[in-house]
Amino acid sequence: SLAVLGDKGANWRPKSYGYALGGCKLKLKFPIVKLLDYQAKWQDLEESTNPFAIMTMAHLTTMMTQGKPQKRQQGKWDLVRRLLEKGYDQEDIRKLFRVIDWMMTLPEELQQSFEEQLNRYQQERQMPLLSHMEIRGMQRGSVQTARESVLEVLEVRFEVVPPEVIEAINRIEDVSVLKQLLREAIAIASMVDFQQLLSQSQANS
């Protein structure tokens, strides 16, 4: 198993978990990936064409701009423009855009300004990759959008998502759980590891 840590605490790096019950003890040791560490590797993320890079940048920018909506708008625009210019195929652009849009929520006025900027950019470069209806159709913050974001990250990273994983994610109603699964999906090593994590999440709920 691999633990993906998406928190702000630079020094919080748990590598084991254990408990005792009825005279029995259980201890689990696991490797970790700390997304915050990638902040020092920002240039590497910018140069990478791996979808993991742009999703990690979205996560870090979301953390860095908490309570700073204007900076978040600029960060969101920089990431989406990079997404459009990286040479991804159209389907991957749509999926990654949905993830960025859901993670990096903006006040309505700034969101409208962002969408207008995006539409102008596409028109100027004749890049109709995201229609106005698609952009406005995002139900930001909804449970369904959260589910779709997790599944889309898994599809981009592993191509095939097992039906039982889709079914399990579609049963989750807690947005906070889905946000944690999204962070895990960004960096987890394999679909098998994600399935194990999902099983643990279901057992704890």
129-174 confidence digits (pLDDT tens):
665 545 655 544 578 888 888 998 898 888 889 999 999 999 998 8
User: What H or E segment, with its residue span, contains residue 146?
Assistant: helix 143-158
| 157 Cβ contact partners less than 8 Å away, ≥ 6 residues apart | 51, 52, 185
Residue entry with tokens 């994610």: 169
Domain regions of the chain by residue span? 36-204
Query: What are the residues facing 5 on neighbouring strands?
Result: 34
**Both structure tokens of 60:** 């870090």
- pLDDT higher than 80, residue 195: yes
User: How much is the pTM?
Assistant: 0.61
C-beta atoms surrounding 65 within 10 Å: 18
